Amino acid sequence: MQMSYAIRCAFYQLLLAALMLVAMLQLLYLSLLSGLHGQEEQDQYFEFFPPSPRSVDQVKAQLRTALASGGVLDASGDYRVYRGLLKTTMDPNDVILATHASVDNLLHLSGLLERWEGPLSVSVFAATKEEAQLATVLTYALSSHCPDMRARVAMHLVCPSRYEAAVPDPREPGEFALLRSCQEVFDKLARVAQPGVNYALGTNVSYPNNLLRNLAREGANYALVIDVDMVPSEGLWRSLREMLDQSKQWAGTALVVPAFEIRRARRMPMNKNELLQLYQVGEVRPFYYGLCTPCQAPTNYSRWVNLPEETLLRPAYVVPWQDPWEPFYVAGGKVPTFDERFRQYGFNRISQACELHVAGFDFEVLNEGFLVHKGFKEVLKFHPQKEAENQHNKILYRQFKQELKAKYPDSPRHC
């Protein structure tokens, strides 16, 4: 009996030692993992030991805290900014997809979540008090029913300074209280929304696109800043991560993602082969082809579509910046912010690309990845407000270029 007891004790001691060894090996592996540069090793580890997702209650508490702060005014004093209605944790070397939208155009977020596998940051503009309330209720519903939103999306809110967003009352969130799934939330938004161009808001307040872009990009190292009604090619996030992880040579480089637009958005092309098939029959064309051809022409679409097919994403050719090119790109490091004096329509992205050039960045066009805008962009009918805003921004752009000479006195480049 004593021998049997001694054997059992020895067995339990051995088992305990084995468990402690497993725990120590796991901690050692985590320590080694933190020093690895490749995303593949991290993915393999987290496939077996996934991080604990934030609970619905934690996300809702963050929403309440952000709204209860009352927000902060932007530099102009015209807008109230609520940072971090939703937050997401992010690897400092990750590539974030940064976008902006009016409340009505948030329905496009569903498609972005499907195509972009990495973190997203969205700045929402609510032009009226009613839209601000809808935005908070919508954020509340999305955080409740959409696990991807809780795991991967940061959301910020901007509204005119005279309004304050309120914490949604869970007892009276309208018809959103009856929803039970993520798809139901987006379906409901599609029914109540009135999507349209952002400068046709029907209010006396301008759409602060550059403020929204800066807010969405804030805190990111590498970011791809796009419009919310654009869709990236499948696997673009993972391909960018792999490319950026393999080399540190990208400082001072803007990696251009060619942008296209599709006539009908029923089925968006997933890869370059599908895009080229639609391109050849006129269903897809270069972005802004009918609105501002010079704004995208330097991308050199004829060269891009004739590149040999490749498996790995890489820069294919260098393009010198020229006015008025406004490419969509990925860049890290000291990227100039968007000038927030530009609002509504005209020169808001061109001005930032101009400063990027003067600051010393080079533009290299990627070989495989792309963006597709939903619908053809066409010249709109004359609108007095739009024309007035465009003329104001045109004058501001001339002033902006003069200011760059003082800001970068040693730069040999100019716009």
- Are 350 and 320 within 8 A, CB to CB? no
- The answer to the question of residue 18 being in a domain is no
Same domain, 191 and 68: yes
In the DSSP assignment, the letter for residue 384 is H
Question: What are the φ/ψ torsions at residue 84 (nearest 5 degrees)?
Answer: 70, 40
| Per-residue tens of pLDDT for the chain, all 415 residues | 444 556 666 656 666 666 566 556 655 554 444 444 334 433 433 333 334 456 778 877 888 889 988 999 999 999 999 999 998 887 878 999 999 999 989 999 999 999 999 999 999 999 999 899 889 988 988 988 999 998 999 999 999 999 999 877 655 456 677 788 999 999 988 887 765 544 455 567 899 999 999 999 998 999 999 999 999 999 999 999 999 988 778 889 999 999 999 998 778 999 999 999 999 999 999 999 998 999 999 999 999 999 999 999 999 999 999 999 999 999 988 999 999 999 988 899 999 999 999 999 999 999 999 999 999 988 766 667 778 888 999 999 999 999 999 999 999 999 8
- Are 332 and 272 within 8 A, CB to CB? no
The Cα 401–Cα 116 span in angstroms is: 35
Going across the sheet that includes 120-125, the strands are 72-73, 79-86, 153-160, 120-125, 95-102, 222-225, 329-331, 253-256, 362-366, 315-319
pLDDT at residue 301 in the model: 98
pLDDT at residue 265 in the model: 78
Same domain, 181 and 256: no
Same domain, 151 and 107: yes
If you write DSSP's letter for every residue of 106-121 in order, what string do you get?
A: GGGHHHHHHH--S-EE
- Are 81 and 158 within 8 A, CB to CB? yes
Question: What are the φ/ψ torsions at residue 52 (nearest 5 degrees)?
Answer: -70, 125
pLDDT at residue 92 in the model: 79
Same domain, 248 and 216: no
The Cα 339–Cα 351 span in angstroms is: 7
Cross-strand pairs, 370: none
Comparing CA positions, the residue from 230, 235, 221, 232 lying closest to residue 312 is: 235
- Are 166 and 67 within 8 A, CB to CB? yes
- The answer to the question of residue 109 being in a domain is yes
Number of domains in the chain: 2
Q: Which of 201, 227, 253 is the last residue of a domain?
A: 227
- The answer to the question of residue 32 being in a domain is no
Same domain, 256 and 404: yes
pLDDT at residue 12 in the model: 60
Comparing CA positions, the residue from 278, 277, 301, 275 lying closest to residue 288 is: 301
The Cα 7–Cα 255 span in angstroms is: 66
- The answer to the question of residue 351 being in a domain is yes
Same domain, 153 and 59: yes
pLDDT at residue 381 in the model: 64
- The answer to the question of residue 38 being in a domain is no
pLDDT at residue 180 in the model: 86
Same domain, 200 and 235: no
Q: Which of 163, 197, 227 is the last residue of a domain?
A: 227
74 is in an annotated binding site: no
- Are 210 and 347 within 8 A, CB to CB? no
323 is in an annotated binding site: no
CA–CA–CA angle 56, 62, 67 (5° rounding)? 130
Residue 177, helix vs strand vs coil: helix
Burial class of residue 292 (count of CB atoms within 10 Å of its CB; 0-12, 13-18, 19+)? middle
Same domain, 195 and 249: no
Q: Which of 183, 204, 227 is the last residue of a domain?
A: 227
- The answer to the question of residue 189 being in a domain is yes
Structure tokens at 269: 């092309």
Same domain, 274 and 408: yes
Same domain, 202 and 283: no
Same domain, 190 and 219: yes
- The answer to the question of residue 307 being in a domain is yes
pLDDT at residue 48 in the model: 35
CA–CA–CA angle 371, 321, 396 (5° rounding)? 95
pLDDT at residue 300 in the model: 98
Find the domain containing 82 and state its range: 54-227
pLDDT at residue 166 in the model: 85
Same domain, 262 and 314: yes
